Structure 1
Amino acid sequence: MKITLDEMQAFAAVVDGGSITAAAEQLAQTVSGISRALGRLEGKLHTTLLRRTTRRLELTEEGAAFLRHARAILASVDQAEEQMAARREQPSGRLRVDAATPFMLHVIVPLVAGFGRRYPQVELELNSNEGIVDLIEKRTDVAFRIGALRDSTLHARPIGRSRLRVLASPAYLAQHGTPAAADELARHVLLGFNQPESLNDWPLRDGDELLHIKPTVASSSGETLRQLALAGGGIVCLSDFMTRRDREEGRLVQLLADRTLDLRQPVNAVYYRNTALSSRIGCFVDYLVEALGERAFDE
């Protein structure tokens, strides 16, 4: 029978991409080549792995069972290649990285070119999700998470801590005035998150608690809120890692600085302890920490 790795890789890519065309693009092959590989695989297994409809491809029961074995085999091959590369001290292969859009844009993206020059054999795949993703389900190798961690099954490496500040643009303040106390914020347009609610706790005192605001405009994305604030759309509370340059260049100014608590969000790289990709993950996280410097996000 002699099933080949190429056939298993083509099958997995079709499942992941949802179509033969997407798999062909991912693997840099022709559509006909992927289709033939699937045909050979099903012929060797004497079963149908994918049910073809007019709109999409669906796994058969046999296909789902074979996919689990195929993924395990492909992962073992990746691990073997990684171990051999590690012996040469040259990490290689694909590294799938996940982070919220603001962290991806303001922290990771500026470092990608330098990382590529140092580790040319590592292929980065960068994905952005505003919520917390399941690393296995999303086939993610390492994720960067901001705030308190909940999943104790993950290994976490601290990257730094980023301070929260209340900010607005000069244009907004010129039109609406500058609040002199926390209780005056209720009279302003407040930009906040639609989830989780804890992100709407601002670093200002409200009695014995943090000030919890009710957003006038809410979004799931910190980058969307940043853009709204830059456009004069309201007052926002965001982390330093995404607003430092805006503050330095005067596009956003801090409000109530003398009343703001020194509240810093922890930033962690997370991955599974038993990962077979430790060399790739290690070199990426090490490079990020080195490039950011000792102070990381602190000021």
Structure 2
Amino acid sequence: MRLHKNHVFLFCFMMLALFSFTPDSAAKSHSSTEPKTSSVVIERDFIPGPFGQVHVRIARPTAKTQHPPLVLFHPTPYSGDYFLKFMRLMASDRIVIAIDTPGYGDSDRPKKLQSIDGYAESAAAVLNAMGHGGERGPPVDLLGYHTGTLIATELAIRHPGLVRKLVLPGLPFFTGEARQKAYQDNAKPEPVTPDGSHLAKKWGFAAAAIDAGLSLDRAQEHFSDLMQCYPHCWEAYHGVFTYPAEERFGAVQQPVLLITNDGSLKQETEAALPLFPQAKLMHIDGVTLGGFDLAPEKYVAAIRPFLENDTPQ
């Protein structure tokens, strides 16, 4: 009889333990080690600019933050969608704003070719309208990628009271004959072919990172994104390869973080380092193509300490 009671007691203890370990408690235990990106809300808005409506994405953390907003400028020929995974991670403790360059994504296209100056002034108008800079609000931090690095740089030069710090991964720093050749190769109209072969070329561009691990679904999203600007996707390259970077970089007053990876523009970014009065260089290993999709956490780990360090660079 005593053995039977022991069995009953053991059975009851096991059942109590089973029902006290619910899936919710397991999820809470697991989620404590996960990046809290699910609570980040991404909104969309259209802001009047000098060339028409400018489309922006705004990622907001659920809790109030003391960090300045981080504003993102995408590479050509994409839009702010390019940064989607990075935005969700970076916005865990600050507002992150991704601006579609005029003529790309859902932003209206300018009626004539623009210099980097024009794109920078458009961004300034958007940020001022959103309440940032000068008397309208606190300054912001900027991150540009490829084309976006030059827009961010010129914005910081023209509106120093608007910008606190700059992060510039992948700087297209070309001079002399190299810049002329880059212009000839990239800043030219693209045809729409009757047989649709131009679509295959653009698919190859959008899907280039598949071998590095990019999913087919994400490649399709990039393809759809870049086709919004077609056949005018080349127009921002006019601004990129007419920008006198060697004359302008020295005018940047803010601290700058340059970032390279194992892919393109490594040498160009390194060559630009001495031109900035306050700049440092960081390299991210193991990233070639599609870093903001495939390794956004590496960029966050590199960028967050720089933005949060208030000591002189």
TM-score range, shorter chain: under 0.3
When the two structures are superposed, what TM-score results if normalisation uses the length of structure 1? Answer: 0.26
When the two structures are superposed, what TM-score results if normalisation uses the length of structure 2? Answer: 0.25
Higher relative contact order (CA 8 A, sep 6+): 1
